[in-house]
Amino acid sequence: MKLPVAHSEFSESSSDELLNTDSPISGHRIAFVGKLGSMNRREARELVRRHQGVMVERIDQSVDLIVIGADVLPLGDESELLDDWVIEASAQGRVRVINETQFWQELGIVEPDLDIGRFYTPAMLAGLLGLPLSTIRRWHRRGLITPTRQVKKLAYFDFQEIASARRIARLIASGATAQSIETKLSRLAGLYPNLQRPLCQLSVIVEGRQLLLRQGGGLIEPGGQMRIDFDSLSPNGAMDDQEISFPINEPVPPVPLDELVTPDEFLRAAIDFEDEDNLKGAVEVYRAMSLAFGPSSDSSFRLAELLYQQGDLPGARERYYLAIELDESFVEARASLGCVLVELGEQELAMATFYGALAHHADYPDVHFYLARLLDEMERASEAEPHWQKFLDLAPKSPWAEEARQRLGVDQ
């Protein structure tokens, strides 16, 4: 999560004259735990100072507010981050523990109605954008979109990544390739090394096959050269916005298969084949990778997805089983296996698989949705209803939420 500039109170030129004496954190000693998603530690320290609080580096008995960073994993499990005495003090009300988003909202930096706490799984994001699930997963693997959180390998994306995904879709629709977009984003990352999510942290717009980066103070070309953009001058001769512009459909030469050495090189080659819709080639790369390095849960899962896309349901089923055998907490593999078993008519096994996924991640919204549907199909409506309701509680803005509301007979 990157704070919108319009709502951020922090600036390099802040002074003691701007101290906020009415702040809710005035006089409090505050500790941040884990990686912050909106700013670095130096910026956080300055902002806390301006609100007349004190930021401390180590949690001790003097701390009365602890903020869990937005990029902390796993989702919602603070017990792995905090000592037992801190958890006990929190339960007794002596220490308050909140997440980063709540902290910024209390300071008035992020508007609550921005709904930052709403997350989307890959399947939900695919449904929202009308894209194949395999496309969303491939963009994630390439680093074109970045999850806000991950639980048991399951990615959760926030509203900012939805905007990024829409931009990528526009670029690809205009003729760009995922490879070339990745190359240009890597170049942006070289210009701005502190960025982790350039498409949502910078003001990047899309025009045809061009990526345009707006930044105040002049034009910077991809190689870092400065130049003036006369078209961006206002009538009084001032520079309104910077613009970095470069084509994004440059060809990216493929790596010959006989030169693949490391697992990362194999994975990249497989993704390149997928981008070209050469599923057979991608399958061969994953099989060769398993022979060279032994099967892994991730490669088995990806191979299962490809086999499913090719219509080989029994083959996909076996690879999903293998992924789970190698990592029993791989909840997305369990969810996908359950869906394949439903298609194969193995309802009882599918139901057991979905329940197994929920045993590892009880708040997995997709699985509650799949299980509710399956139980309805099995004429077990009374068992299905709690899962419909749980899904709606977890994902009220999901593209599937209307089906759940209709099933439960509730209004939006």
The pLDDT assigned to 173 comes to 78
pLDDT digits (tens, 9 = 90+) for 289-300: 999 999 999 999
Q: Which amino acid is at 159?
A: F
Q: How far apart are CA 306 and CA 251, in angstroms?
A: 25
pLDDT digits (tens, 9 = 90+) for 293-319: 999 999 999 999 999 999 999 999 999
The pLDDT assigned to 319 comes to 97
pLDDT at 179 over 70: yes
224 band by pLDDT with thresholds 50, 70 and 90: very low
Cis? peptide before 198, omega within 30° of 0: no
pLDDT digits (tens, 9 = 90+) for 353-371: 999 999 999 999 999 999 9
Name the helix (H) or strand (E) containing 227: strand 226-227
Instruction: Look up tokens 């991730």; give the residue.
Output: 298
Cis? peptide before 396, omega within 30° of 0: no
Domains 5-114 and 122-247 share a fold: no
Q: How far apart are CA 242 and CA 244, in angstroms?
A: 7
Residue scoring higher pLDDT (345 or 175): 345
- Answer CATH for 5-114 from 3.40.50.10190, 3.90.1200.10, 3.40.50.300, 3.30.70.3270: 3.40.50.10190
3-state helix vs strand vs coil in the chain, percent to 5: 50, 10, 40
Q: Which CATH class is domain 122-247?
A: mainly alpha
Domain range list for the chain: 5-114, 122-247, 363-412
pLDDT at 76 over 50: no
Tokens of 23: 């702040």
